Structure 1
Amino acid sequence: MYTIVTLADVVQIPPTEFHKSSIRAIEDFVNNKYADKVIHKVGLCIGYHSLISASEGLIGHGTGIVNVNVDFRLMVYRPFKGEIVRGTITHSNIEGIYLSTDFFEDIIVPPPLLFENTQWGADDTGTEAFIWRPDNGEGGENEFFFDRAEKCLMRIEQEEWNDLSPQMKRPDDYDMERRDKYGLKLGPYRILASMLHSGLGPTLWWLGDEAAADEAPEEMEIDGAADEQ
């Protein structure tokens, strides 16, 4: 899920940063430039990991900015194909189920990658969601709902990359409201996941009362806070 990659860059340290140690100034520059950003075909950058090497600083003429050539390591988020990842359903529509890992939200499970006999429908309250209807072994069917805010396990199946750098864009790419085949705004990095095997999907399906008991104290605390307000 998390990997370490090696990059090289020119770190620019302005005079206002001279009160910092060199290693701290380099770390701050790298984090400001890369953290929470996607590098094409590399992954989502989490933050600076360690310094490999740094050259002597060269002072820019007339600016006082010190330029340092550095090799460093970054921690990135890029789960591998076949990895089982935990996420939370943020919303669903006929195009699929959208999930978040709290810090990364471009994860989708399309309908073909859901359990067999899963269909888009509505429950007794009229709330629309995907519903899995497996045979209960007695000639009938059970119903299991992919509800919003459910914690799920999913299997990573495919990555989708879009190079959104200015030199790669066509004129029509500047339409920020343009939607893709999933009805989402075009992003630099997206993960397609599946819920096709036993143990995947909402964890409450498989853990039952044990999971419900684990979540009960949190729900009670929230309810108590609401009463105090």
Structure 2
Amino acid sequence: MFVLVEMVDTVRIPPWNFQRQLNDAIAEELNKKLANKVVYNVGLCICLYDITKLEDSYIFPGDGASHTKVHFRYVVFHPFLDEILLGKIKYCSQEGVHVTMGFFDDILIPPESLQQPAKFDEAEQVWLWEYETDEGAHDLYMDQGEEIRFRVTDEVFVDTSPTGPTAAATDTPAQPGQSTAPPPEDSGEKKEAPYTLILLPHVKVEKRRTD
């Protein structure tokens, strides 16, 4: 679930931190930059483990800060495929069952991976499994807050780095009164998660409502 990843970065230390031990100042800056951030194709960064090498520090003209190339190891959340994990159901939607581990929420069990036959209750916004017994069918609900054990079947990384302005579709000059500025972004547009785990339930959900 957690792995140590070797990384290299150039760390900038502002002048007001020069009185501190260099290792302490660098550790603080690295955690500010990386902790709780997703590094593309690496995983969710948790905390600095250790610093393995410091190269020479430089001060560049026009910048009073020092710049040091640092080799270090960072604790990263990146479960391997088929690993079994434990979480809680955060909520359900048409997309599937959304699971949280407390420190990481972008975990999804898609509808096709749920125990079948399964259906989504629009009124209660919950997925349920229509469990067949000798006494007939029973609805077993996947309620919010319930613990669930799951197996990691896939992972999706999305590069969410800022991009430059898009080029105009054509070179046709704008007509009088027509704006050449790009249309404003839709504020309701759903943002993509930089790192998502795709899951398969590892054990059956057997919570039957009695009400």
Please indicate the TM-score interval, normalised by the length of the shorter structure: 0.7 to 0.9
User: Aligned letter for 2:127?
Assistant: F
Does 2:149 align with 1:158? no
Q: Provide the aligned C-alpha RMSD in A.
A: 2.5
The yes-or-no answer on 1:193 pairing with 2:199 is yes
Counterpart-to-counterpart distance in 1, 2:163 and 2:37: 18
Distance in 1 of aligned mates of 2:187 and 2:25: 35
Change (3 A) 1:166 1:26: same
Q: Structure 1 residues 169, 163: CA separation in 2 closer, same or farther (over 3 Å shift)?
A: farther
TM-score (norm 1): 0.76
Q: Distance in 2 between matches of 1:168 and 1:116?
A: 45
Instruction: Compute the displacement of 1:63 (Å).
Output: 3.0
Of 137, 140, 149, the residue aligned with 1:141 is 137
Is 1:177–2:188 an aligned residue pair? yes
Q: Secondary structure at the match of 1:31?
A: helix
Tell me the secondary structure at the aligned position of residue 55 of structure 1: strand
Say which one has the larger Rg: 2
Partner of 1:108: 108
- Does 1 or 2 have the higher relative contact order (CA < 8 Å, sep 6+)? 2
For 1:200 and 1:44, the matched residues in 2 are separated by 28
| Alignment partner of 1:132 out of 129, 132, 146 | 129
Aligned partners of 2:165 and 2:117: how far apart in 1? 40
User: 2: distance between equivalents of 1:111 and 1:169?
Assistant: 37
How far has the Cα of 1:86 moved from its partner? 1.2
Offset at residue 167 of structure 1 (A): 4.1
Residues in 1 aligned to 2:147 and 2:164: alpha-carbon distance in whole angstroms: 37
Output the CA distance in 2 between the equivalents of 1:177 and 1:192.
25
1:62: Cα distance to partner?
4.0
When you count helix as a share of all residues, which structure comes out higher? Answer: 1
Q: Secondary structure at the match of 2:72?
A: strand
SS of equivalent to 2:23 = helix
**Cα deviation, residue 113, structure 1:** 0.4
Quote the offset at 1:143 in angstroms.
2.4
The 5-angstrom pairing of residues 25-44 of structure 1 reads 25-44=25-44
Determine if contact 2:115/2:204 at 8 Å carries over to the other structure: no
* Unmatched runs of 5 consecutive residues or more in structure 2: 167-181
2: CA distance, partners of 1:114 / 1:54: 49
Checking the alignment, whether the CA contact within 8 Å between 1:178 and 1:186 is kept in structure 2 is no
AA in 2 matched with 1:132: W
Task: Tell me how far 1:94 sits from its aligned partner.
Answer: 2.1
**Cα offset for 1:128?**
3.5
> For the residues of structure 2 that align with 1:48 and 1:128, how far apart are their CA atoms?
40
Amino acid paired to 1:194? L
1:98 has 2:98 as partner? yes
Percent of residue pairs identical: 30
How many residues are treated as equivalent by the alignment? 193
TM-score, scaled relative to structure 2: 0.82
CA 1:8–1:168 in 2, change beyond 3 Å: closer, same or farther? farther
CA contact (8 A) 1:118 1:130 kept: yes
